[in-house]
Structures are given as structure tokens and as C-alpha cells.
Amino acid sequence: MSKVKCECGHLNPYGTYLCESCGKPLKEDDNSLANMRYEGVARRSQTYKKSIVDKIWNFFSSVKVGVWIIVLTLIASSIGTIFPQEMFIPPGQPASVYYYEEYGTMGQLFYQLGFHNLYSSWWYMLLVAGLGVSLIIASIDRFVPLYRALKTQRVTRHPGFMKRQRLFKKADTVTEPSEEIKKASEVLKERKYNVREENGNILAEKGRFSRWGPYVNHVGLIIFLIGAMLRLFPEMYLEDHIWVREGQEVEVRGTGGEYSVRNDDFLVEFYDPEDERFREGLERSGGDVVKTYQTTATLFKQSSETIGAGEKEEVQQHRIRVNDPMSFEGFSLYQVDYKLNELAAFTFALEEIDGDSEGLEDVRFEVNLYDPEPSYEFDNGYRVEIYDYFPNFTFNDDGEPSTLNRIPDNPRFIFEVFAPGEDDGELSFVGIQLNEAIEEDNQYRLRMVDFETNHVSALAVRRDRTLPILILGGIIFMVGLVQGSYWHHRRMWIQERDGELWIAGHANKNWNALKKDFDYLAEQTNIPAPNDQTDEQDESERTDEGVREADDNGSTKQ
Amino acid sequence: MAQLSSNLLLIAFFLYFLSTLMFAVSVTGRRFKDKKGIERNRLGTYGYISSVAAFVLAMGYFITRWIAGGHAPVSNMFEYTTFLGIMMGLGFVIIYPIYKSRVLGLFTMPVVMLIIAYASVFPTEIQPLIPALQSNWLKIHVITTALGQGILAVGFAAGLVYLVRVTDFKTKSKKVTSLELVFFGLLCFVGHILLNMGFSAVNYEAEFQYINEFGQEAPITYQLPALIGPNEGTLLSEDRLSPLVNAPDFIVPDDLNAVIWAFISGAVLYWVLRLIFRKPIGGALQPLVKSVNPQSADELSYRAIAIGFPIFTLGGLIFAMIWAQIAWTRFWGWDPKEVWALITFLFYAAYLHLRLSRGWQGEKSAWLCVIGFAIIMFNLIFVNLVIAGLHSYAGM
Ligand code: HEM
């Protein structure tokens, strides 16, 4: 489609409504105010409407569609908070029954519609993706032509452009227009306006960069969304956790054995109920309030070639607390859970069932519950072997002794005791408050005489490679937001036409500030402040109300 | 120190009241244009000075309480809500010099007072910080968020000014009804505050034994007569109203009960005011705002939103994410509180786009400001108290 040539000589893209250079209206219209949204430029979406690509482009570039997407996302998000998401329901509860039992029929419906996993549902993701696409297309559609127009704009504007500005005035009482314009130029420069002159006319401009604010913030938003999307790739995001007992060293999962961490000490600290500052507050909460959860941890590293064999190098020690993770090479270890006084070791003594146990005083041994020795031998010839060990004892489905896991919450042993010189041992079944002979005629008995406990700390392992992208996106977003919100683009056109002074002004927002600048100009020179043509329209619309006292508070009328 | 802190807050509250009065006299005084008229208008400036002084004293409360407790006082409902009120006052202090709108003062100051008074319904003792809250990022996050929300709330006040100014209260219409609903909502807060002050003055307490959300027996104490009892509750105190029905276990029952009382008292107050004025509340307020140019009220509310939105985004989303990453191991977890911060963000984003590109100015835009404020209050009250989550201060 052909370009449109304006009488000022500038070639405009097809579809242009106000000449990019001089601002002359290129399309016939009534004499209403010019639509200055995008300087009257040709936007692709307003110009091409034929092919399927055009149609998709036009759909997504529409702010109406954009706002619909935002509003739908908003509504969907709020629905997800009616009942808790599946990730927040108590562990071990199947969602299929939980929602019905807790919240009745509404809960059931919530579950059946899939709202219990709403934020990871395909349609929610589709909404967010739509938001992203819309952002990109709408921004390109507007940014490119707007940039061109603001770059090509000239100083002297067409009368049709001037007249159609919201702030406009024709002043025929100014005696020496060209002198006044020169003075104005100085005054405006002092006010940090960027002033351009052409044939004695001026264009004073300020804060143009704020026009890019929305596009900058949209770019930031897109980068952020891309970053968030990348988390779906397992390489980018690692989420795991480890339990570490005091004194124990454990491989940090996800590091391929390269790093391991030792729990030197775990501590839970409570607020002192006698503390004056918090006495009343603590009385109200009626119990102990935790002050600190802390794992003192040492991090070790070994080079990846020598895993398992090579020397370990101590990298760092850190007191990991809630709100103070240990970080290394993109990994972070967080304090997330703990268990106090987990059983760690039992000490057993051997006794004769019917006798005085003479000569058995030295037959005492400690069994490490995490990693028991298979056999314990004594100088006087006695020997105890572990026939079987169930750290967390239970009967399995077949009614046989078994263990739930390797955590010694309910440890039980089957010991085999060999007296000196005997080849046949006696089996007995031993646990907390339990000591059963497995054969009838046992002569010996193992008695638990002591135990040890340990604190155990749970550390979350995280590595999020998307963070730098998200941070970048966030920063760009904020910069754009501030740029577009706290600065405003203002322009003043002052020209001499046939001895008259024509004054027009435009602000992309915050007209109030532009008007104040015009007022200031009127004080310093003989150039009168322009009228707000929308005010005049308003006036005629509102005459029936008759309650207007325009000179009051914060009026935009000057 | 703690005592000094509460005294400072009390004086600040009184100054906000004084400021309201001065703006009121200043605005109504204009109707009598006599020779003294000009002098009277100076009251507007005094009103502003009073609001600045109130802000300074309120910060005095904030700092002394910080010293007394050893941590920034933004960690429970009382502290956060009070701070939100103070920040709304600050928003006004920032915006007034730009537009010099006394009517804005007349509408903002009472809302500030309302928020601060509402805060005092919650327990006011200084509480120690649990480990999850011991973070500088948390302070930064909460302080910035409150400032952002406070400024957005000024936008709400300006929107209200606009609506009262342009609505025709002489004939019945949906607009009038909706606006009256807004005033009814504000009156519910007033009722709630008055009821709580009244019942706590006579030490009203009703104790129950009930089954909590974990299926365990627990005690609970109501500060107001129980219309809604706790789940499978039995009343232990004598001479106390026995509940009409019991709440299911996933609801915090005494809060739901308080909400119902708030509605009842709000309705009573509303009805009384209607009887006094013999016209809609908005209609009764309209003479106060008749001198306002609607276009400037509209622009003012937009400015407040445009200033508040980036601050809210920074505090409520970005700093929130940084803190969440450090404290909860992930920057985002779809916790209800987080989701509602996102909803607030999306809502104001929609507002800006509608306004900028779809020409939603004036009345529609003012309504959006009202809804935005409702979302903020919903997030503060309902999400904190009823939908319990990680960030919840519930029970504090
Ligand atoms: C949640 C997502 C979004 C945020 C936070 C956002 C943010 C913003 C902000 C702050 C502005 C400046 C508004 C003002 O100055 O008053 C803006 C302008 C704009 N946004 Fe968005 N936006 C979002 C989504 C979208 C979408 C989906 C579209 C697609 C249609 C869109 C299209 C626009 C347009 C066309 C402008 C006007 C640009 C101009 O001044 O020329 N935005 N956006």
C-alpha cells in the first residue's frame, strides 16, 4: 500500500492520521480534538485487516483483549483461594475425599473442576501465555510507530494540529510575538525543557523518555514470564531435601556427590517468658514461642573425579537459620524442619535369667541405631550377634516383623547370644520395654541399660537457575514502571502566525503539571496560558447542574 | 517506652480528628461568603498542618514501639493495620500539596482514623518474632507494601469524592444504591469498632470448648456474644448467649461471629443516619463536595493510583518475592496472601489500561478505585483472618 505524502513534504506510512512531521490531519474529520494517543500514527493493527496473521495480530494487540486477559487471570486466581490448593492440604490425605469431607458439596465441586490444582492447570497457564503474547504484540504494534513519530516530529506544526490540541489558544494581543517566543525559550530552558527552534517557532519538550516506560516495563514482564516458564525444565530448578543428624555428614542431593554437609549442632531456642518486653504478648499466646531454629553446618567438597575416595575439603561453616540459608555455587540449604531427641544408640548389658550374673559385668555394649555392628565380642569369650534389626518396627501385611523405614523411631533387635565355646546361640527379641526369649529355655537376657539421643535437622536443597532471569525481568519491569509513572511527557508549541501567537500543549498524562508550567510561562512573559478545551466542553454539558465553583480546590482551570 | 508509644498514637489519632474537623469547617465555611470567608479558608492549611503533625507523632509511635520491642512493629494485625492507616495519612501528606484539595482531606482523614481505630480492636501487646519473621526483607516488604496501599487508598478517597459529587441522589438508581452500599460498608467498620470497645470495656467473655481444625479439643474465648458458635462447641461460661448455629471447623469461628456483628451494627448505624438525614448518606454529604471540580477529583484519584501502584508492586510483589525466596525457599508459592497481592496488582494494572486506552475516566474510573480499596481491605482482613495461610497473623 502506498505511502501518503503530506503537504509539508513528509512521506507517511499508509493509514497515518496526523502527519508524523507537521501534524496536519490527513483524514477528513470534524473539528473535534485530535486523538493524540499514538501521535496519530499508523499502527499495523489499525491498517492491515485481511490475512489470518493480521487478524491474530489485531486480536492480541487490542488493549480490550489485553484487559480481558488480565481480568480473567484475576478472577481465576481468586477462585483458587476459595479452598486450599492441594499442596496445602494435610499430607497423606487423598484429595479425592479430603475436599468433600472438609468442605462438603462445594468442596467436591471444587475438586472435580480441578480447582485444587488451579495454578498449574493447562487453562491457567494458557491465560498467562495469552497475557505474554498480548503484551509482546501490543507493545510492538505501538512502540515502533510511536518511536518514528516522536523522532520525525518537527517544530512548526500545521494549524489543524494546533487547533485540535486540548490546550490551545490564539493570542492576537501580544505586541511583539517573536521577542516573546525568544523569552519563552529561555524561561523554558531554565525549567529543564528541551527547546527546539525553527523559523522563530519553538517546540519545548520534557520527559519524552517516559513515553517508553510502558514498553520497558512490558519487556521486563515478558522476561519475567519467560524465566518463570523455564522452571518447568528440570535442569533449571532443583527441589529436594535431606535429613542430617547431629555429628553426621550427608551428601547434598543434586550435587552428584560433590558436596556433603555435616550437622555440627542443632538448636531450638525459646523466648524467655520472663522477658519484660514480651511478657504480656507471651501470656496471650499461652505457650513457648520459638526464637531460633539453627543448624550449625559444615560444608565439604570433593572434586568430582575422586568421589568416594579423594580428600574432602572443608568449604565453609554456616549457622543455617530460617531466613538465613547456606549458599554455595547456586545451591542453597534452608532450615525447614527438625526432630528433637531421636534415638541414636542403645547400651545393653547381658544377664543370666536365673542367676547372679557373675562374670558378666564386662559384657556391655553400645549399639548405634543408624549403623549397628553385626557382632560384638568380649574378652571373656561371650559374643553377641545381631540376627536382625528393625529400626522402625511393624508387622507387614503378611503378619511378619518388618520395618517401615530406616529411621529408628521404634527399634527392635533379634540378638543371638553365644556363651563361651558354644556354637549354638540363643535368640531373643529386644526393643523398648520389651524382652522376649524366642526359644523357651533361654539362659541369658539382654537388658537395655542406657540410651542416647540426637537432634535431627531437615534441610531443603534448592537450586534455581531461573533466578537471574527473574531478577533481571523484575528490575527492568520496575525501571519501566517508575519511568512511565513518575515522569510525564509534556510538549508546548508556540508559533507566530500572521502576527498572532498560537499556543498549544500536550501531556501524555498529568495535565495539571503542564498547566502549571504554562501558568509560570504566563507570569514570566506576555504569553497567555492556553485554554483547556475539554473544560469548555464540560461546561456546556453541565450547565444544568449549576453547582460549579471553578476557582476552588485543585481546579485544573487556571 | 511501650506506654509512651501508645500515648503518641493516641495523640496522633486525636490530631487526625482535629484535622478532619478543620477540613470540614473549611469546606462548609465556604458557603457563607462573607468578609471573614477568606480567613476561614486558612483552616484548610491548618488542617493540613495538623495532618502532618499527626503523621510525625504516629511515626513517633512507630519508632518508640520499634525500640521497645526490638523489631519493626509490622508483625501482627494491630501493628500492620495501624501502619497502613499511618501510611494512608502519609499518602495524603504527599498528595495534598500538589492539588490542595481540602475536600480530599475531609474524606481521607476519617478513613485514616477508621483504619487506626480498627487496628486497636486486635491485641496490642508487643509480641516476640517467630523465626520466619526475623528478616530485614520482611520489614522492607511490609513497610513498602503498606505505603503503596496507603497511597492507593487515597485514590479511593478521591474516587469517593468524585462519586458523591456527580451522583444524582434525588432519584433512585443503581448508582445511588451502590454508593450507599459503600457507606454501609464503612459503617460496618465503625459498628465493629464500637461494639468491640463496648464489650471489652465491660470485660465480656464467653468461653467454649470445641473441636478445632485438627480434630482436637481446644478452648476458645469469644469477646462478643456468640451468634455463631465454634465447631461442636459447648458453652462453658454462665449467663452468656448460646449460639444459634455452629460454624464448620475450617472457619475461625469467633472472627466469623465478629463479622456478622459488624454487619448488624453497620445496618443499625446506617438506618439511624438515614432517619436523621432523611436522605441517602451520599446525598447528605453532597453539599460538602459541591465546590469540587469533578475533573480534578478524577485526575487526583488517577495520580494517587499512578503514584501508589509502582510502590505497591515493589513492596507487595518484588520485595515479597525476595523475602519468600529467603524464608520459604521459593519466591512464589500460591499462598492465598500472595495470590491476593497478585490480584491487587492485576486489578490496578487493568485500571491503568482501561483508563489509558479505553477512556475509562470519571465515573467508571472512580468505581474502580472503590473496588481496588475493597480488594486491599479484603486482603487485609478476610485473607488474614479467615483463609489462614503462611503469612497469616491469625490468632495473634
Ligand atoms: C499484568 C500485566 C501488565 C502490566 C503490569 C502492565 C503494565 C502497564 C503499565 C504500568 C502501563 C502504563 C500505564 C500508564 O502509564 O498509566 C502500561 C501501558 C500499556 N499496556 Fe500494559 N501491562 C500489562 C499487560 C498488558 C497487556 C496484556 C497488554 C496488551 C494489550 C498491554 C498493553 C499496554 C498498552 C497498549 C499500553 C499503553 C502504552 C502507551 O502508553 O502507549 N499491557 N502497561
Q: For B27-46, what is the mean pLDDT?
A: 62
A413 shares a domain with A353: yes
**Residues A346 and A449 grouped into a single domain:** yes
Residue A159 maps to a domain: yes
Is there a single domain that holds both residue A356 and residue A429? yes
**Domain identity same for A48 and A132:** yes
DSSP label at residue A37: T
Domain around A180: 155-207+488-552
Instruction: Note whether residue A36 is domain-resident.
Output: no
Summarize pLDDT for A376-425 with one digit per residue, the tens: 888 888 889 998 899 888 888 888 888 888 888 888 988 888 888 888 88
- pLDDT at position B161 is 92
Ligand 1 binding pocket includes B310 (Cβ within 6 Å) = no
**Is residue B393 a contact partner of residue B76, using CB atoms and an 8 Å limit?**
yes
Question: What percentage of chain B exceeds 90 in pLDDT?
Answer: 48
The answer to whether A538 contacts B357, with C-beta atoms less than 8 Å apart, is: no
Task: In whole angstroms, give the CA distance from residue B149 to residue B154.
Answer: 9
Cα B344 to middle of ligand 1, angstroms: 15
Task: Give strand ranges (E) for B236-354.
Answer: 245-246
Alpha carbon distance, N-terminus to C-terminus of chain A: 46
Residue A38: inside a domain, yes or no? Answer: no
Q: Parallel, antiparallel, or unpaired: how do β-strands B228-229 and B245-246 relate?
A: parallel
Please, are residues A429 and A447 in contact by the beta-carbon 8 Å criterion?
A: no
| Cell representation of residue A317 | 561453616
Instruction: Count interface pairs A-B at CB distance under 8 A.
Output: 176
From A130, A149, A168, the end of a domain falls on A149
For the cut 80, the answer to whether the pLDDT of residue A201 exceeds it is: yes
Residue among B96, B108, B100, B87 nearest B159 (CA) = B108
Give the DSSP letter string of A273-337. Answer: TT-GGGHHHHHHHTS--EEEEEEEEEEEE--GGGTTTS--EEEEEEEEETTB-EEETTEEEEEEE
> Residue B79: CB partners within 8 Å, gap ≥ 6?
B65, B73, B119
For residue B393, is pLDDT > 50? Answer: no
Is A5 near chain B, with CB under 8 Å?
Answer: no
Examine the pLDDT at B122 and tell me if it is beyond 80: yes
Grid coordinates representing A197? 527552534
Q: How far apart are CA B228 and CA B200, in angstroms?
A: 19
Report the distance separating Cα A226 and Cα A232, nearest Å: 11
pLDDT at position B82 is: 94
pLDDT band at B217 (very low <50, low <70, confident <90, very high): confident
In a domain, A95, yes or no: yes
Contact A71 B135 (CB under 8 A): no
B98 contact partners, CB below 8 Å, separation of at least 6: A512, A554, B303
Provide the pLDDT for residue B8. 93
Query: Does residue A444 sit in the same domain as residue A363?
Result: yes
The CATH number of the domain holding residue A181 is 3.30.310.50
Partners of B135 on chain A (C-beta within 8 Å) are 323
Our count of domains for chain A comes to 6
* Least confident interval from A212-216, A225-229, B98-102, B364-368: B98-102
Give per-residue pLDDT as tens, A102-124: 888 888 999 999 898 999 899 99
For residue B194, give Cα distances in angstroms to A49, B187, B191, B207, B265. 62, 10, 5, 22, 9
Whether A222 and A171 map to the same domain: the answer is no
Cell of A190: 531554565
Give the Cα separation of A357 and A349 in Å (integer): 10
> Over chain A, what is the mean pLDDT?
84
Residue nearest ligand 1's atom 31 by CA: A135
Which carries the bigger pLDDT value, residue B312 or residue A383? B312
pLDDT for A249? 87
pLDDT in tens, A274-290: 777 787 777 776 677 88
pLDDT in tens, B133-184: 888 898 999 999 999 999 999 999 999 999 999 998 888 888 899 999 999 9
pLDDT at position B235 is 81
Q: Which atom of ligand 1 is nearest to the CA of B306?
A: 16
Residue B297: its H or E element: helix B294-312
Binding-face residues of A in 151-180 toward B, CB within 8 A: none
Residues of chain A found within 8 Å of residue B23, distances taken between Cβ atoms: none
Average of per-residue pLDDT values in chain B: 87
Residue B392 has pLDDT above 70, yes or no: no
Q: Which has the higher per-residue pLDDT, A539 or A516?
A: A516
Nearest to B47 by CA among B3, B133, B108: B108
Looking at the predicted structure, is the pLDDT value of residue A4 above 70? Answer: yes
Confidence (pLDDT) at A307: 62
DSSP-derived pairing of the beta strands A393-395 and A401-403: antiparallel
Same domain as A132, residue A183:
no
Closest chain A residue to B105, measured at CA: A553
Confidence grade of residue B3 (pLDDT, cut at 50, 70, 90):
confident
pLDDT value at residue A436: 76
Same domain, A117 and A15: no
Asked if residue A186 is part of any domain, the answer here is yes
CA dist., res. A342 & res. A391, Å (int) = 12
Q: CB distance B358–A292 less than 8 Å?
A: no
Average pLDDT over residues B190-209: 88
Judged by a CB distance cut-off of 8 A, whether residue B383 touches chain A is: yes
Q: What are phi and psi of B393, to 5 degrees?
A: -95, 10
pLDDT at position A545 over 50 = no
3-state secondary structure (DSSP) of residue B9: helix
Residues of B in contact with A479 (CB under 8 A): none
pLDDT at A22: 85
CB distance A63 to ligand 1 below 6 Å:
yes
Interface contact A462-B127, CB threshold 8 A: no
- CA A424 remoteness from chain centre: 66
CA of A514 to the centre of ligand 1 (A): 23
- Among the ranges A88-92, A540-544, B62-66, B328-332, which has the highest mean pLDDT value? B62-66
pLDDT above 50 for A101? yes
Return the domain boundaries, chain B: 2-169+293-385, 171-278
Confidence (pLDDT) at B388: 52
